Chains A and B, each alone.
Chain A
Amino acid sequence: MKKKVHSSILGCALVILAGFTHAACDDSSSAVKEPPPNSGNDAGPGSTDSGSGGGFDAGTLPDGAPKDCFDNPKTHFEIINACTNATKITKNPTLPKLLADGGLPPLE
């Protein structure tokens, strides 16, 4: 009987130890598992500027298409829209509360 209890305790310890080991060694725990978002350079169909910030004139590509980023940024607007190899996410939600010009409505 005593031996059985001893074995049970050891069994439990083994399970707990295995759990800890798995948790400690599972390096996938810090991995982002969702599918990678759009990392292309195109804004995608229907994409527009979010409204604030005025026109977007970054020049043209060799084929005459408009560029969507600045090669040699100087101003705030150019810096935040500078060309980059980083992942870009297109997000242009429809927000009914925005003003007609895209501005922010006053708080209620």
Chain B
Amino acid sequence: MIEFLKQPWAWYVAGPLIGLMVPALLILGNKTLGISSSLRHVCAACIPAKIPFFNYDWKKEAWNLVFVAGIILGAFIVATFLSNPNPVSINPKLVAELNGYGITDQHSLLPDQLFNWQQLFTVKGLFFMVFGGFLVGFGTRYAGGCTSGHAIMGLSNLQLPSLIATISFMAGGFLMANVILPFILKL
């Protein structure tokens, strides 16, 4: 059993389990799945700075912060007890492309050569870790949700704005990955 759990899970196992988060949270407490709102609650709790957007009772939304704390804990449990002993399998085309950029160490879930503390203050490091994160935070709130809030929760409830947002996420991602990132990775 443990050996089985250590393998990466197939999409048809993980996808339905993620989808079941939607009814589970609704039935457990009338909560809608959505992760990016936790970032807004952190702003409201720590640095509201009299900005109207952060002027609300974040404590009423504290469940969301507990939920993301659970995500950190769950990931820690996997890393400690259930991690895949084998290197992550990657499409050979992507491996070849990344090798061309000098990204050759591909054993873990993130390329260590791009995401590490030493890289942080290089141009590439600032771009991938700081600028990228900034766009995630700014964009998700501007869009009113992220992959979980719009693509999964919103689409589950057949919300057209969520479909528009999801299409925009994908369009932005395709553009960045295929058109802009190759130039950055060459730096």
* B and A form one assembly: no
